[in-house]
């Protein structure tokens, strides 16, 4: 079996594949000051609940944008899985998809991982929107080239900034949008601004990107809040929250072919 781990600034997503089939996955908080032993306890509990043993894992592939987590997960893999993980880096993913950025090294590996997975699935021009710590837009050409994109503050970052910088505005939780765009109290007004506002931003950005691309790309969303925001937009066609995990699987497969 293959274990894939995507470490983001807010959440870490783990998945276990049996060949090409994702048999289980989990989303946990990213903790920067944990230890390999503590991560072992958490991971072992998740595995046991799904009838998976550490000995079943033949390979581990990790994408990480949080430097302190590298040492933790590397130690975990060596100590408890008895293996050296494959770390996905920009050089590795650029071998599998041309990156047309002015400086390709600037593109986060996780963004290209999503692009590789989406293009393998759809084989057409794409706009991929990842609702993570930051909300990212990634544009893929019909030829399977990473063209570029856009980065804006994530929804939760925006919510926290309002709470911290505006002394009379409360912190809000976003489990569902307000009943109407016009909020009738402070909580609903904040939710409307964050959720309907981001939905309108998505529709506006997609329209502008489509105009520049000159094609009709498929629009895919992924990330923690993707389902909620997708329901409020006119442009998101597909929500795929296993996109990054699938991308890591594909990268593992292709790098194995090349070695």
Residue 1 C-alpha from the chain's centroid: 22
111 is in an annotated binding site: yes
Q: Is 133 annotated as a binding residue?
A: yes
CA 43 – CA 32 distance, rounded (Å): 16
Residue 11 labeled ligand binder: yes
Q: 16 among the known binding-site residues?
A: no
Annotated binding residue 88: no
CB burial of residue 201 (10 Å; 0-12, 13-18, 19+)? middle
Residue 109, annotated as binding a ligand: yes
Strands 134-140 vs 126-131: parallel, antiparallel or unpaired: antiparallel
User: Is 74 noted as a catalytic residue in this protein?
Assistant: no
224: annotated binding-site residue? no
List, in order, residues 6 or more apart from 108 with CB less than 8 Å away.
65, 90, 136
Tell me whether residue 108 is annotated as binding: yes
Distance from chain centroid for Cα 12: 9
The answer to whether the annotation marks 99 as part of a ligand binding site is: no
Asked whether 62 and 89 are in contact (CB, 8 A), the reply is: no
Check whether 13 is labelled as a binding-site residue.
yes
> Please, are residues 145 and 97 in contact by the beta-carbon 8 Å criterion?
yes
The response to whether 101 counts as a known ligand-binding position is: yes
- Active-site entry in 110, 188, 203, 256: 110
Cα Dmax for the chain = 60
CA atoms in the 13 A half-sphere facing the CB of 65 = 18
Active-site residues: which are they? 110
Binding-site annotation: residue ranges for ATP = 6-13, 133
Binding-site annotation: residue ranges for substrate = 101, 108-111, 186
Binding-site annotation: residue ranges = 6-13, 101, 108-111, 130, 133, 186
Binding-site annotation: residue ranges for K(+) = 130
């Amino acid at each position: 079996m293959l274990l894939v781990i995507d470490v983001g600034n807010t959440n870490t997503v783990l998945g276990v594949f049996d060949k090409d089939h994702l048999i289980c996955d989990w989303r946990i908080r990213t903790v920067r000051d944990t230890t390999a032993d503590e991560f072992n306890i958490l991971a072992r509990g998740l595995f046991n609940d799904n009838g998976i043993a550490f000995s079943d894992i033949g390979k581990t592939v990790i994408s990480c944008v949080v430097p302190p987590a590298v040492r933790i997960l590397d130690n975990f893999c060596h100590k408890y899985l008895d293996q050296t993980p494959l770390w996905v880096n920009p050089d590795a993913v650029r071998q599998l998809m041309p990156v047309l950025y002015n400086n390709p090294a600037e593109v986060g590996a996780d963004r290209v991982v999503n692009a590789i997975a989406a293009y393998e699935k759809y084989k057409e021009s794409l706009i991929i929107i990842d609702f993570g710590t930051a909300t990212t837009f990634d544009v893929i050409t019909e030829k399977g080239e990473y063209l570029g994109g856009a980065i804006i503050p994530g929804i939760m970052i925006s919510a926290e900034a309002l709470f911290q910088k505006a002394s009379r505005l409360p912190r809000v939780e976003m489990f569902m949008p307000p009943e109407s765009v016009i909020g009738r109290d402070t909580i609903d007004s904040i939710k409307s601004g964050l959720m309907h506002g981001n939905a309108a931003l998505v529709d506006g950005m997609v329209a502008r990107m489509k105009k520049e691309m000159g094609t009709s790309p498929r629009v895919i969303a992924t990330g923690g809040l993707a389902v909620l925001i997708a329901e409020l937009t006119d442009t998101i066609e597909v929500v795929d929250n296993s996109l990054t995990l699938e991308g890591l699987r594909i990268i593992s497969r292709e790098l194995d072919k090349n070695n």
